[in-house]
Amino acid sequence: MRISIVGGGYVGLISSICFAELGHCINLIEIDGRKAEAINSASPPIYEKGLEELLSKHAGRNLTASTNYSGIPESDVTFICVGTPPKSDGSANLSMIESASKSIGLAMRDCDRYHVVTVKSTVPPGTTHNLVMPIVLNESGKGKDKIGFVMNPEFLREGLAIQDFMNPDRIVIGSEDIRGGDIVQSLYYGLEAPIVRTSLTAAETIKYASNAMLATKISFSNEIGNICKKLGVDTYDVMLGVGMDHRISPHFLNSGVGFGGSCFPKDVSALIRLAEAVGEDPILLKSVVEINEKQPMRMVNLLQRRIGDLRERKLQFLAWHSRMIQTMPGNLELYRS
């Protein structure tokens, strides 16, 4: 199929190259001209294992990047893969979602074929139905008989994103109508994974709940780890034993400096704000964030007890995961090894 993908950032680029690998023809829309040119030249703007090889294979063949929306009318499906950064209050900033929706709608005014608009960005539950759908329909001047709407969240780990895309735990497809959901499901033909078909809002909630659950496991592990230190117990022995329970699993049970990166902090905060907006007090999620915010300084205090005053010292950390570096306090000079 012909696919347009709006946003050449992390999710958009990985989705583009993986869909190209599955045999689809990709039109990647990236407003940054330099980034679009780099993609067309098979020079990836980010590092991800296997990305450079796949980009060299598909760029200029069945994957082309551009700065405009002119290719959308010829596409069967358009994915929205733009960012949803946090606002100052922790809620999700949907300005880029709104802008992309308007541009997609305008591009579809002269398109008479059935088209599926699919949100892959992480958005608060209700966004596809209450924001994306009305904007696209209004700007295009068309009805739901011509445009289907789907929510298809991503579950990618930084550093292993291509592997995760091509070998997913599950593929979640929330749709407004069966036809649109069926078309998006067909894009993944060839991948062996359970297909979860839901409503639009349920699919959006699955993404937020998944990230919140993983963040909760990390904060839980850190709280148990802090107790273990006081008891003189090896935290890793404890978590090894806990993780062997098949109901829990060992993933995301390593205690350390807490969770960081581009997803967990903003998504848990956005879910908290959303819960408060509908009259709920998410006590557990607030505790997850509170534990996470305090954890880096626990590491600093541990260092101070071991080696004394840290001022004027240069510290080197051997990090087994890049997110460890991202979550450390900014007043320490860090070197990635």
Determine the straight-line distance between the first and last CA of the chain, rounded to whole angstroms: 43
Which CATH architecture fits 208-326?
3-Layer(aba) Sandwich (3.40)
* pLDDT, tens digit (0-9, with 9 covering 90-100), for 209-232: 999 999 999 999 999 999 998 999
Find the range with the poorest average confidence among 77-91, 141-155, 317-331: 317-331
- The whole-angstrom separation of Cα 78 and Cα 27 is 9
pLDDT digits (tens, 9 = 90+) for 130-161: 999 999 999 999 999 999 999 999 999 988 99
Q: What is the pLDDT of residues 277-307, one digit of tens each?
A: 999 999 999 999 999 898 888 778 777 878 8
Q: Specify whether the backbone of 232 is left (phi greater than 0), alpha (psi in -120 to 50) or beta.
A: left
Closest residue by Cα to residue 123 from 180, 43, 205, 184: 205
The answer to whether the beta carbons of residues 64 and 40 sit under 8 Å apart is: yes
Q: Which residue has the higher pLDDT, 318 or 19?
A: 19
pLDDT at residue 327, as a whole number: 39
Q: Which residues of 112-137 are buried (b: 16+ CB within 10 A; e: fewer)?
A: eeebbbbbbbbbbbebbbebbbebbb
Active site members: 263
Domain extent listing, the chain = 2-198, 208-326
pTM score: 0.86
CA atoms within 13 A on the CB side of 235: 15
CATH fold for domain 2-198: Rossmann fold (3.40.50)
Residues 115 and 77: beta-carbon distance below 8 Å: yes
* Cα–Cα nearest to 63, from 81, 36, 32, 103: 36
**Mean pLDDT throughout 227-247?**
93
75/113 Cα distance (integer angstroms): 9
Residue 257: what pLDDT? Answer: 85
